[in-house]
Structure 1
Amino acid sequence: MLVMTFVTKTLSAVSGGAARAAVLMVTGTKNLVRAFVHRREVMRLSELDERGLKDIGLVRSDIDGALAVSWLSDPSSVLQARSHQQRSAAAHRREAGVRRPVVIQAAACLSAKEIKIACNA
């Protein structure tokens, strides 16, 4: 009885380890295939002219930087990070542009009130 319990536990541990190894192998293969597919898509992006790249928010150096990563890495993650940086910088510029006229407008109203008070005095 004791021997059967020991053998059963050992086999279940082996099967769990084999299952984990199989999952890791499938996941790794899937990530590798995804990286190759994305690399091919980034290479197709490099065929666009500067105007086409600008339309999607990229420049030539972004494409070159993405293709410079290892063949085992996904180049689209580099493009995604660059796009996120540009979006946040553009949002910051928009926010600063919205704040500035409000400040100028408030200063103009304030000086108009001061002028009105000075004229009424």
Structure 2
Amino acid sequence: MLLMTIATKSLSSVPAGIVRVATAGIQIPVSFVRALIHRREVMRLAELDERGLKDIGLVHSDIAGALATSWLKDPSAVLASRSRSRSDIANARREHAVRHAAIKGSPEPMLAKKADFVVARCA
């Protein structure tokens, strides 16, 4: 408890600018190590076959593109954005099909209006 009090009092006397610089200096190596760990995990994903990658919404070219990024950049963020965009496109196509089914005589006109909104937003 005494150590906590001494640490708190000594840190409160340090100007805020120095604390910000020290925090930024620590965050850079931490983000680099995190990027290296995630790069290693993405390399493990490259060992999966097409079926395994399709289950998580990826293809081998996505992994190759993510690994082609800078060593300082997190490749898992690239994969997440590609997977998300691919699922958004699939949802838009699905909604578009529902809309056309509704136009051909389905009693679900409200569903068709919602599909128009989603397709327009994704386009």
TM-score (norm 2): 0.71
Equivalence for 1:8: none
Equivalence for 1:94: 94
Q: Gaps spanning 5+ residues in structure 1: where?
A: 1-11, 107-121
Q: Gaps spanning 5+ residues in structure 2: where?
A: 1-11, 107-123
Equivalence for 2:57: 57
Equivalence for 2:83: 83
Query: Partner amino acid for 1:68?
Result: A
Q: CA deviation at 1:19?
A: 1.1
Aligned sequence identity (%): 55
Distance 2:44 2:68 in 1: 15
Aligned residue for 1:58, secondary structure, equals coil
Distance 2:80 2:53 in 1: 14
Aligned residue for 2:15, secondary structure, equals helix
TM-score (norm 1): 0.72
Provide Cα deviations, 1:29-65, integer angstroms capped at 9, x if missing partner.
Answer: 2211110111000000001011111111100000000
Aligned residue for 1:20, secondary structure, equals helix
Equivalence for 1:117: none
How do 1:3-82 and structure 2 match up within 5 A? 15-82=15-82
Q: CA deviation at 1:90?
A: 0.7
Higher helix share: 1
